[in-house]
Chains A and B, each alone.
Chain A
């Protein structure tokens, strides 16, 4: 065995190749360097990672990039609430102002016993499909059909189907991502501020007599609430009472006055 040709030359040539490639890599690293904003990774880390889309971006990482680029506000993550906003604010080095929190509420109290059905529905168990059959099984064209599309789309399990045929919204679990709001074909889900304590739980824009034919607890546009409200916070828009929450003081006079109990007091949200 020849020491030089069998050991020294291979070792030396391999070491030489290593040196050359190493040098190439070092140069490439400098020349082709991509600047990565470390904050994007950090922000992604603190986001919930459910890709709900409530911020207006298609995914959590897209939102993180937008925040790092200064295009999105640090408190833009809706389901993350104040907690995440604060963390993102820390990473970005700014003070995060907590936005008003909104939760999804059903603007309908038409349970099976009070709202009449106009047909028996046996199609696909999905609200959007049921809409194709004469606008759904309920006599009220505006009310909740109770087929549970909102339950299915909620990423937080905040909505469950109640025993009386209407979905129940768990305020604590609701992070305000608006998925149910967008999916509902009847537009009967509303985003209500957690500070609100009074809500008109009806979505019917028909005149009073037509409402009563379909449902016993609908807003009949009688205008009593408008009259009793001491703050002038209620307005009758298209045959439906609408509360201006900037004026409402949660006094509850309208709840007392409503003859069909369409205005309800909301339980306080923690």
Chain B
């Protein structure tokens, strides 16, 4: 019996399109647009003004808030726009070379500070600032560090490729993160549909007694933090709790690589690996793109769109969001850009709920999606909150299995937003 969690679904994975192709480095675009909020937490305030010349890797926005992460210029050049949403930089390709030096530190605090200054956030897509994650509150001891290499979203293969190509850097980064949070051992969790990655990682850690690699069942949403912890150690993170409550900290594969680079080369987060895939793209592949690159430039680099292309998704097909314009920047949280043809995009309208409870079986958080949707539709927010609407992770399993094609998660997003707005006003 494979290591797993309750609920979940088995969508078509469609990873073969990009899994075998090495990561391509994208040339610098002519212009980058860097949003001021690329992370969970307080948005940054610009440190530069229009007309300023910035160097590659220069910090251009920061915040005083603890839960936040600074933003760096991903290219060198001239700042052409600063507003309350983003900073735009016109690239000077001649000068765009990053130079930095290895960072030294004497204690955990300084190491965490290096991570913060590098602007590193969870690169799996949740974009939670990493320095916050590795800073356990007073009285909490972390014993285990985990690397999330599950990558359960269909189509996406960024973590898979990073593990194969930058495995050594990932191990080095994991050691740093282990040190930063005070853990004694590291468990790397990888879904069993990536046997080459499991094998490669096992080889790399052969001489590392503190490390272990565990293959987990291929099931969506295996890569969700709480579900993967359940699969790896059999313990459940309490509702509304954090992995910290179990003495665990988990980070994504690419995050560990970024931490390694921040310490080893003094390099802040300047780029990320994005899976560009789907039937509507000419050359599906993984691309290392500078942050702030527009989706249009990225698509162009991958051979452009096919004429039948109809829908573009930022993220994975389960949790990503559809884009209405290609003029959208790649941010720290963009794990994939997927393009689908018209005949693959299912357009349907909602039918009445037939009370089959498929969604209840599929929900990995063990909620009652059918009742949650009913309550949100009827504006019964108190009742929805009572049956834990706020614990929904918006993974989309319920919407996926619903025979009536009810866009359940869409209702939950609205309900959560309304509850948050109401709680703010109170």
Residues of A within 8 A of B (CB): 118-120, 122-126, 128-129, 131-134
Contact = CB atoms under 8 A, between A and B. Distances in A.
Contacts of B414: 124, 126, 128-129, 131-132
Interface stretch (B107-115, B138-146, B344-352, B364-372): B344-352
A124 B350 contact: yes
B321 interface: yes
Interface in B399-426: 406-407, 410-411, 413-414, 417-418
A132 B417 contact: yes
A34 B348 CA distance: 59
B322 A133 contact: yes
B411 A124 contact: yes
Given A125-B349, A125-B350, A132-B417, A119 B410 contact: no
Nearest to B325: A118
Given A119-B324, A133-B322, A124 B347 contact: no
Contacts of A134: 324
Contacts of B350: 124-125
A153 to B, nearest CB: 9
Contacts of B413: 129, 132
Contacts of A128: 414, 418
A132 B324 CA distance: 13
Nearest to B347: A122
B322 A119 contact: yes
Interface of B: 321-322, 324-325, 347-350, 377, 406-407, 410-411, 413-414, 417-418
29 contacts: A118-B324, A118-B325, A122-B347, A122-B348, A122-B349, A123-B407, A123-B410, A124-B350, A124-B406, A124-B407, A124-B410, A124-B411, A124-B414, A125-B349, A125-B350, A126-B377, A126-B411, A126-B414, A128-B418, A129-B407, A129-B410, A129-B413, A129-B414, A131-B414, A132-B410, A132-B414, A133-B321, A133-B322, A134-B324
Top 5 A-B pairs, shortest CB-CB distance: A119-B324, A124-B410, A129-B414, A124-B407, A123-B410
Contacts of A132: 410, 413-414, 417
Nearest to B345: A122
Nearest to B310: A120
A131 to B, nearest CB: 8
A120 B342 CA distance: 12
Given A124-B410, A124-B411, A133-B321, 4 more contacts: A118-B325, A124-B407, A124-B414, A129-B413
A128 B414 CA distance: 7
A119 B321 CA distance: 13
B134 to A, nearest CB: 32
A132 B416 CA distance: 11
Contacts of A133: 321-322
Nearest to A131: B414
A5 B259 CA distance: 101
Contacts of A123: 407, 410
A177 B418 CA distance: 22
A128 B406 CA distance: 16
Contacts of B418: 128
A126 B407 CA distance: 11
Contacts of A126: 377, 411, 414
Contacts of B324: 118-119, 134
A186 to B, nearest CB: 14
A38 to B, nearest CB: 34
A131 B413 CA distance: 11
